[in-house]
Amino acid sequence: MIQLTNVSKRYPGGYDALKDVSFELAAGEMAFLTGHSGAGKSTLLKLITLIERGSRGQIVVNGKNLARLPRRRVPYFRREIGIVFQDNKLLNDRTVFDNVALPLIVSGVDHGEVGRRVRAALDKVGLLNKEKLHPIVLSGGEQQRVGIARAVVNKPPLLLADEPTGNLDAELSDEIIDLFHEFHQHGVTVLIATHDLRQVDRLEKRRLMLRAGELIYDSGRDA
């Protein structure tokens, strides 16, 4: 699903965020990407989602060589990836329902279909009764679950998360990570960037560790 070959990212000014990183994540696999802040976790996710482009090396996601993907194809490529952010990036001027519906609206899904799929996604994250509320009145854990519902409503084959539990306490973090695990069990490829080692130990999934832009540890498939 994700294949990195000797990928480097150098920012203007000469700072190397990633140095010669190579790994492969098979379809349906779940993995944690760990490391301290500034180790390159976020940069790696940005390269995979084409928010930024790599300086060297090759990245293939879902069969697409990102270096050869023109700018105008990027939106269609992103529809195949569900992304969850630490700050959840919800739109506070719209209801929970409208937030979750956004990816469907964007890809032009039929009107009747939108309602059905939004409710299915909200049901999965246990927020079906909150669809009419605005995200701002929800708790941090609930907001993050809305973010997850939005990421999966399109049924993407790949789910990426950048510190999804960064702002949550231990109990809520467990709930969120369990939710990702559930999607993994339904066949979705999941890659979670986190420095919450407790979660990594709890689930015993594959672990990739970055330090100063280098991949220093890879536990291999489903360690």
Partner 1 sequence: MIKNYFLRHLQTLFFSLGQMARAPLATLMTVAVIGITLALPTGLYLLLDNLQRLSGGWDAGVQISLFLKQDIGDAEAGRIAERLRAREEIESVRYVSRQAALAEFKRLSGFGEALNLLDENPLPAVLLVRPKPAHGSPQAAAALARSLGETRGVDLAQLDLEWVKRLNAMLSLARRGVILLAGLLGLAVLLIVGNTIRLAVLNRRTEIEVVKLIGGTDRFIRRPFLYSGLLQGLAGALTAWLLVALSLALLGGPIADLADLYGSGFRLAGLGAAQGFSLVLGGGLLGWLGSRLAVGRHLREIEPA
The 10 Å CB-count burial string (b at 16+, else e) for 119-141 is bebbebbebeebbeebbeebeeb
* Chain residues 57-76 in contact with partner 1, contact rule CB under 8 A: 72, 75-76
- What's the rounded Cα separation, in Å, for the pair 137 and 69? 39
Does position 110 interact with partner 1 (CB under 8 A)? The reply is yes
Q: State in angstroms the smallest separation of the CB of 145 from partner 1.
A: 17
The 10 Å CB-count burial string (b at 16+, else e) for 204-216 is ebbbbbbeebbbe
Does position 23 interact with partner 1 (CB under 8 A)? The reply is no
Pick the binder of partner 1 from 22, 107, 129, 139 (CB under 8 A): 107
Q: State in angstroms the smallest separation of the CB of 141 from partner 1.
A: 20
Q: State in angstroms the smallest separation of the CB of 191 from partner 1.
A: 16
Q: Which is nearer to partner 1, 84 or 209 (CB)?
A: 84
- What's the rounded Cα separation, in Å, for the pair 31 and 46? 17
Does position 111 interact with partner 1 (CB under 8 A)? The reply is yes
Pick the binder of partner 1 from 8, 23, 55, 77 (CB under 8 A): 77
Q: State in angstroms the smallest separation of the CB of 162 from partner 1.
A: 11
Listed in order, strand segments (DSSP E) in the chain are 2-11, 15-25, 30-34, 56-61, 64-65, 81-84, 158-162, 189-193, 206-211, 214-218
Does position 108 interact with partner 1 (CB under 8 A)? The reply is yes
Does position 53 interact with partner 1 (CB under 8 A)? The reply is no
Pick the binder of partner 1 from 51, 67, 197, 223 (CB under 8 A): 51
Does position 150 interact with partner 1 (CB under 8 A)? The reply is yes
Helix (H, G, I), strand (E, B) or coil at 35: coil
Integer-rounded Cα radius of gyration of the chain = 17
In total, the chain counts a number of residues equal to 223
Does position 213 interact with partner 1 (CB under 8 A)? The reply is no
Does position 206 interact with partner 1 (CB under 8 A)? The reply is no
- Alpha-carbon distances, residue 8 vs 22, 200, 216 (angstroms): 9, 25, 14
**Chain contacts with partner 1 (rule: CB under 8 A):** 49, 51, 72, 75-79, 83, 89, 91, 102-103, 106-108, 110-111, 150, 154
